[in-house]
Amino acid sequence: MKKKILWLITARSGSKSIIHKNIKLLGGHPLLSYRIESVKETRSSHDLWITTDSKEYASIAQKYGAEVPFIRPEELSTDIASSVDVVLHAMEYAKKSNKEFDYIGLLEPTSPFITSNQLDGAISLLEENKVALAVVAVKETRPHKIFIQKESMFLEELSINLERLKNIGRQEFEKEITPSGGFYISKWNTFLEKKSFYTSKTLSFEVDEISGLEIDESLDWEFAEFIINKRNK
C-alpha cells in the first residue's frame, strides 16, 4: 500500500523583512503558490494543508488548491513561535480528525524553486533506506570557511588561510553543506517522538543553487524575480 504524507506549508502573515512576503506576487503569482503547485505535481499520496493565522492567506491558498482545515492560533503566529510547535499543532489536528499519515513534510513558502521531482526523490530516498527516519534538503555552502575571518579584528588568520591556498586547489576542499530550507520530511511517529527533523538517522538530499534559494531579504527577492523573468523569456 502506498504510504501517505501530510505536506504542511507554513505561511504566517507577520513577515518583517518583506511585508506580506508569503503572498507577495512573484512572476504574477503569490509566493506560497509555488509550493502548492510543486506538491500538486508530485506522485505521492498526500494531503496538502496550509497553516496560517490569516483568513486572507487562507483564501489565496484555497484558490490554488490547498486545504486550510484551521486558522493557526495566535500563540503559534508570533516571531518566537517555533516551527516544531506549528507542526505538532497540525499533527494533533489530524489525529482529532481521524486522519492517518505515514510521513509529515514541512514546506516553507520562502523556497519557491524546489521541484516536484525533488520532493518525489526525497520521499523515495527515505523509503529506500530502511533505517532512515527523516530527510532534509541541503545545499553546498559558499564561500568555504577557509575564507572566513574569525573573531579577531586583524587579518592574521585570513592571511594564513590565503597562504595555504597557494598550495591547494579549491577542488581539494572538503565539501560542506547546510540546510537549504527547501523541505523537511520525517516519519510521522518519529517526529512525534523526537520533535525534530534532525536525528542521528536523518538523510540529506542535496539541491542545486537555484532550488536552494531561500527568500529572506529584499536582495533574495530580486534574485528570485531575475530567475523567474529569465525562465519566462
Same domain, 13 and 73: yes
pLDDT of residue 169: 62
Per-residue pLDDT tens over the stretch 75-96: 999 888 899 999 999 999 999 9
Please spell the DSSP secondary structure of 48-86, one letter per residue: EEEEBS-HHHHHHHHHTT-B--SBPPGGGSSTT--HHHH
For 81-87, which contacts have Cβ atoms below 8 Å and span 24 or more sequence positions? Answer: 81/12, 83/10, 84/195, 84/196, 86/8, 86/10, 86/51, 87/8, 87/191
pLDDT reading at 7 higher than 90: yes
Return the higher-pLDDT residue of 93 and 144.
Answer: 93
pLDDT of residue 179: 94
pLDDT of residue 143: 61
DSSP state letter for 122:
H
Taking the complete model, does pTM exceed 0.85, yes or no? yes
pLDDT reading at 12 higher than 90: yes
Same domain, 160 and 73: no
Q: Which of 175, 199, 218 is the last residue of a domain?
A: 175
Per-residue pLDDT tens over the stretch 44-55: 999 999 999 999
State how many domains the chain has: 2
Same domain, 43 and 95: yes
Q: What is the CATH number of the domain that holds 64?
A: 3.90.550.10
Q: What angle do CA 125, 210, 197 make, to 5 degrees?
A: 40
Instruction: State percent of the chain over pLDDT 90.
Output: 77
Same domain, 134 and 149: no
Total residue count of the chain as it appears in this document = 233
| SS3 assignment, position 32 | helix
Same domain, 109 and 189: yes
Look over the chain and give the mean of its residue pLDDT values, rounded to a whole number: 91
